[in-house]
Homo-oligomer: A and B are copies of this chain.
Amino acid sequence: MELAIGVVGLGAIGRDHVKRFHERITGCKVVAVSEVNQEVGRRVAEQYGAKFYADGEELINSPEVQAVVVTTWDPAHAQYVLASIKAGKYVFCEKPLATEAAECEKILAAEQAFGRKIVQVGFMRRYDPGYTELKKTIEEGKIGQPLIVHACHRNMTHAATMTSEMSIKNSGVHEIDVLRWLLDDEYVSGQVVLPRQSRISAKEGLQDPQIMMLRTKQGICIDVEISQSSGYGYDIQCEVVGDLGTAKLPDPPGVITKTDCSRVTGIMPGWETRFVEAYNIEMQDWVDRVKNAQPLVGASAWDGYVACVTSNILGQCREEGGTSKEIVLPEKPEFYN
């Protein structure tokens, strides 16, 4: 009766999800795990009573696995998503769907050939109560027609491996996905503006911060500040300006203290706490829908493809010194409407 899940990839987010399925999500069970680091893989398997597979594809094809979660490193995402489609199993793939547009296209083709939408991409912000309320506010017409979006994605610090490209592909991609979902619109062009370099982000060659500029079909202009080293906390801001008013994403709640001539509310250091509720809602929704064979409502493979293409083009904009580029995509297949 419980959905039998197999998890491929046990890095930080993979282990997080295994724990989440075990402790927070009802109606499911992690029955199988796979991980290139076999020691880690076997330990996690034992801890949660799951079977360990050295080979991810073997796990996917194993009959006791009903649905697959892909949380490997990014370059391996496409391979396991394709294997899951081939096996005819629902697959939840952490973002990005793939690192290259060509791989996304293979996934789109495979899923359409399979004939039913079974791929979901892990853009959890679509489930965040703040973004959900913001979308509802816009859809109810409270602020009129959206004209402009001002957004910020500020990480407190970054890993040593962070690069200028990753800043857009890993952080910016969340904004790319959530804003077109929020506005129910598509991008037509983009640009990257490079401000003065932060001294905190002291990694050779890492341009930080960056500002992504996007324009949609409806003409909505979006500016998104992306920072890998805000210096003060993890801070996600989003304000939508309509022709009747504005609507702003709420900050996470926090105790207000007054001490030392200061009125203070805490700011979270990282995304783990900021979006924990979004992850929980996302995964419960996915499990419920997969179990009941209901249509998925999270980000589809098409959404993953759009995010991939858009972030790649923005990456080129940055490399080419900030010029504006068109964002051109093939027509959206009927299958994905």
Contacts and interface: CB of A to CB of B under 8 A. Distances in A.
Contact of A261 (B195, B196, B219, B269): B269
A211 B156 CA distance: 28
A49 to B, nearest CB: 10
Query: Max chain B CB contacts within 10 Å: which of A24, A143, A267?
Result: A267
Contact of A134 (B227, B229, B255): B255
B260 A245 contact: yes
Contacts of A38: none
Contact of A225 (B196, B241, B244): B241
A86 interface: no
Nearest to A323: B324
B250 A254 contact: yes
Interface stretch (A104-112, A145-153, A306-314): A145-153
A249 B265 CA distance: 11
Interface in A233-273: 233, 235, 241-269
Contacts of A147: 195-198, 209
B243 A259 contact: no
Contacts of A144: 199-200, 231
Interface residues on A, range: 35 or more
Nearest to A247: B257
Given A26-B25, A246-B232, A148 B225 contact: yes
B221 A195 contact: yes
A259 B241 contact: no
A146 B229 CA distance: 14
A320 interface: no
A289 interface: no
20 contacts: A26-B26, A133-B254, A133-B255, A147-B195, A150-B150, A193-B221, A195-B221, A198-B243, A199-B243, A200-B244, A223-B223, A231-B244, A232-B259, A232-B262, A245-B260, A246-B258, A252-B253, A261-B267, A263-B265, A264-B264
